[in-house]
Amino acid sequence: MSYERRRLGDVALKIGSGATPAGGERVYRRTGVALIRSMNVRDYRFTQEGLVYLDAEQAGKLRKAEALPRDVLLNLTGDSVARCCMLGAEELPARVSQHVAFIRVKPDKADPAYVMYALLHPGTKEELLSLASQGGTRKALTTRMLENVELPLPALPLQRQIANVLSSFDEKIRHIAQMNEKLEQLVRVVYAQWFGSFDYPNAKGKPYRSSGGSMIYSEELEKEIPEGWIAGRLGDIAAVDKGKRPLRQSPVKTEKYRYPLVASGSSRAFVDEALYREPVLVVGRAGTLGVIQRCAEACWPSDNTLVVQSDRYEYAYQLLKDIDYAGLNRGSTQPLIAGSDLKRTPVALPPPDIAEKFERMAGDWLAACERNNKEAAALAAARDALLPKLLSGEIDAGTPGRARVSNLIET
């Protein structure tokens, strides 16, 4: 069975691109109306990482870029072009930047979640990436291109059934992400207590500073640190190198292209060899600054990233979260940070026994995150294998084949 193909423009109320406020980063706020940028749009999911906000005045000037619940978002430019997700009500009110398209479907013609999954179909993704590569040096899509993309479109009830099957996988993946977030928050609380307040356990198991531990003033760090600690640089405990541009890549994972290509915002493609096989921390270097990704398995960090390696992996990870990357920006037209500047970042270095104790404790908690990530990856692989079969009609979500799908979801 195959489904009728329809132009996206025929089933959409609106396909629009957003706008960027005058003044750029100077008008960003910590609260207010969210401004959705390309870094917030990942395949299958929206992320609040790097989310910025506008005040009421700036948001009022961007009314035409207003996002609504269940709008489908798709990146229009750059390395993350064609990434796609659906917006939830919890992210509103919101505006969309000029690098992101919003697709609002006719409710009597299409289901928004189904349209998102159809745009993430490997064949459609390949088509979008091909369209984005036409013309200039920077990858870009237009709303007109999106209007003319054809999608398989079964009857509306079947669209919803297909979307429900696939979203069952995504719900489990989101639940795992929430568990990991709680574990990371726990590590962060301990890190702040030990290395921010300096209330790590002393020889008697009591909080060091609160129990009267001796402190000395560090002129280099411009603050007090415990006696026995030293003022150093990130480069004292970590090697920082620039990623590389791969010779070959694929937008989808295959037996040959199985290593993730890690870009400044996320893993966006796959390559046929690994640049690193040991755990590394990958930091956005160009375009999207300061997004930190833990890569526990073999990967290839792209040339718009910095790669951090350290025997104190967990401590380095927490230190990287503290850095003001905007303050390290050297770019004029595009944000850019240099590895040499990152290595020179001042840090307080604890004695080896304290560092090792934190490394073991944080390592145990975050190892649970890695196990969870493997489970999430298995669920994502099952979803990705099902998606083209459901959208082609090879598996019918509305017949006994649904039972087979349900079994996969439960495992």
- pLDDT attached to residue 320: 95
Domain assignment of residue 407, yes or no: no
Domain boundary among 367, 386, 402: 367
Does residue 68 sit in the same domain as residue 206?
no
Q: What CA–CA distance (Å, rounded) separates 234 from 114? A: 46
The CATH number that applies at residue 184 is 3.90.220.20
Residue type, 84: C
Could you give phi then psi for residue 296, rounded to 5 degrees? -85, -20
Q: Is residue 164 part of a domain?
A: no
Whether the Cβ atoms of residue 166 and residue 117 lie closer than 8 Å to each other: yes
Structure confidence at residue 253 (pLDDT): 81
- The 8-class DSSP code of residue 194 comes to I
**Residue 86 confidence (pLDDT):** 97
Say if residue 76 is in the same domain as residue 13: yes
Same domain, 55 and 198: no
Residue 299 corresponds to which tokens in the numbers above? 């990967």
Q: Which residue has the tokens 């060091």?
A: 208
Answer yes or no: do 216 and 352 share one domain. Answer: yes
Residue 244: closest CA among 312, 299, 317, 207:
299
Same domain, residue pair 139 and 25: yes
pTM listed for this prediction = 0.77
Say whether both 193 and 268 belong to one domain: yes
Residue 379 lies in a domain: no
Is the same domain home to 211 and 252? yes
pLDDT of residue 405: 52
Cα(220)–Cα(73) distance, integer angstroms: 46
d(CA 83, CA 66): 19
- For residue 53, the tally of other CB atoms under 10 A from its CB is 18
- Within-domain flag for 187: yes
Contact 311, 354 (CB under 8 A): no
CA–CA gap between residue 74 and residue 54 (Å, rounded):
21
String of b and e for 326-338 (b: at least 16 CB within 10 Å)?
eebbeeeeebebe
- Domains: count for the chain: 2
In this prediction, the residues of the chain whose per-residue pLDDT falls under 70 are 1, 135-137, 265-268, 398-411
CA 215 to chain centre: 39
Q: Is 409 inside any structural domain?
A: no
Q: What is the pLDDT of residues 330-387, one digit of tens each?
A: 887 778 899 999 999 999 999 999 999 999 999 999 889 989 999 999 999 999 999 9
Domain stops at, among 329, 345, 367: 367
**What are the beta bridge partners of residue 348?**
231
Q: Which residue in 132, 45, 123, 118 sits closest to 82, CA to CA? A: 132
In a domain, 36, yes or no: yes
In a domain, 161, yes or no: no
The 10 Å Cβ neighbour count of residue 107 is 11
Q: pLDDT at position 266, please?
A: 63
**Is 281 found in the same domain as 200?**
yes
C-alpha–C-alpha distance, residues 365 and 314, integer Å: 10
For residues 253 and 133, state if they share a domain.
Answer: no
Distance CA 112, CA 100 (A): 17
Query: On the CB side of 291, how many CA atoms lie within 13 Å of its CA?
Result: 23
The three state secondary structure string of 342-356 is HHCCEEEECCHHHHH
Query: Around Cβ 35, how many Cβ atoms within 10 Å?
Result: 27
Domain carrying residue 103: 5-153
328 lies in the same domain as 195: yes
Question: Which element (helix H / strand E) includes 406?
Answer: helix 401-410
Q: Which residue is it, tokens 């749009």?
A: 41
DSSP 311-378: SSHHHHHHHHHH--TGGG---SSS-B--HHHHHT-EEEE--HHHHHHHHHHHHHHHHHHHHHHHHHHH
Which tokens belong to 348? 């307080």
Tell me what pLDDT residue 401 has: 44
Are 319 and 189 part of one and the same domain? yes
Secondary element (H or E) of residue 384: helix 352-392
DSSP label of 134 = S
Residue 225 resides in a domain: yes
Tell which of 97, 122, 153 closes a domain: 153
In this structure, the strands spanning 45-46 and 41-42 are antiparallel
pLDDT for 342 equals: 95
d(CA 72, CA 87): 6
DSSP string, 138-185: S-B--HHHHHH-EEE---HHHHHHHHHHHHHHHHHHHHHHHHHHHHHH
The residue among 134, 123, 125 whose CA lies nearest residue 43 is 125
Q: Mark whether 237 and 320 lie in a shared domain.
A: yes
Residue of 342, 317, 309 lying closest to 327 (CA atoms): 342
pLDDT at 403: 41
Q: Compute the radius of gyration of the chain from its Cα atoms.
A: 23
Please give the pLDDT value at position 402: 44
